[in-house]
Chains A and B, each alone.
With several copies, the nearest count.
Chain A
Amino acid sequence: MLLFGRLADLAGWREREIPAASLAALRGILAAEDPALFEALQAPAVRTAVDQTLVNLDVALRPDSEVAFLPPMSGG
């Protein structure tokens, strides 16, 4: 699981291995472990990518899936 931008600052880490069978299960684990991070991930502006593809709904995860939480983006 990957965190970017202010989400990584909030959590205090950028990358971790977390065993979970689905996105919903992963969110459940985070809710128990770090409620502030869980809350931040629920914001509508935060996008979720699974294996580098944006997803809008819950999806199943494989053991090697890469989940990334993306706060509002700004380049340039």
Chain B
Amino acid sequence: MIRLVQAPFDPGEALGEFCRDRTETGAVASFTGLARAESGRTDILELEAYPGFTEREIARHEAAARERFGLQDTLILHRTGPISPGEAIVFVAAAASHRRAAFEACDFLMDYLKSRAPFWKKETGPDGARWIEPTERDQDDLARWETQ
């Protein structure tokens, strides 16, 4: 499931709910992306989505991940709007019967979210605002999944 959220959320609460009443899961991997202050260089991060389109594109990749890694369940929470340092931007969880599948699925979904999911990210600090685009490292991370 993918949910865009506008208010700050607690990644712990998301993980707690995701793990609840799972008697046949075995493995839950999660990833939480937190906004960094970068030693005062970033005051605020602003995340823009294309409501409707963004959820549908992400749901497609969630379905691909479930199939590829044989997952039992996935959850993606993603903030939109202004985000302060220390707040969670994204939370991804994957449930599987074996830990390798759960780890790889989280890793795969994060690489996708970083470089291909319909979000636009603007950092504002003392030096002004700039739009963040995927780094070369993000592109390399994503490419790992294509050659396998």
**Chain A contacts to B: CB under 8 angstroms:** 2, 4-6, 9, 49, 52, 68, 70-76
Q: Which residues of B contact A9 (CB under 8 A)?
A: 131
Q: Fill in one digit per residue for B93-130: 1 if any A CB lies within 8 Å of its CB, else 0.
A: 00000010000000000100111111111100000000
What is the size, in residues, of chain B's interface with A at 8 Å between Cβ atoms? Answer: 27
B104 to chain A, nearest CB (A): 17
Are B89 and A74 in contact, CB atoms less than 8 angstroms apart? no
B87 to chain A, nearest CB (A): 13
Contact of A6 among B89, B114, B131 (CB under 8 A): B131
Q: Which residues of B contact A52 (CB under 8 A)?
A: 50, 52-53, 56
Are B48 and A73 in contact, CB atoms less than 8 angstroms apart? no
**Chain B contacts to A: CB under 8 angstroms:** 33, 47-48, 50, 52-53, 56, 78, 89-90, 99, 110, 113-122, 131-134, 138
Some 21 contacts from A to B, beta carbons below 8 A apart, are: A2-B50, A4-B48, A5-B122, A9-B131, A52-B50, A52-B52, A68-B53, A70-B50, A71-B133, A72-B133, A73-B116, A73-B117, A73-B118, A74-B114, A74-B132, A74-B133, A75-B47, A75-B113, A76-B33, A76-B113, A76-B114
Q: Which residues of A contact B138 (CB under 8 A)?
A: 74
Question: Which of chain A's residues has its CB closest to B31's CB?
Answer: A76
With A5-B48, A6-B131 as contacts: A74 and B119 at CB distance below 8 Å:
yes
**Cα distance, A76 to B117, chains bound together (Å):** 9
Q: 15 other contacts beyond A49-B50, A76-B117, with CB at 8 A cut-off? A: A4-B50, A5-B120, A49-B53, A52-B52, A68-B50, A71-B133, A73-B118, A73-B120, A74-B121, A75-B89, A75-B113, A75-B119, A76-B33, A76-B89, A76-B114
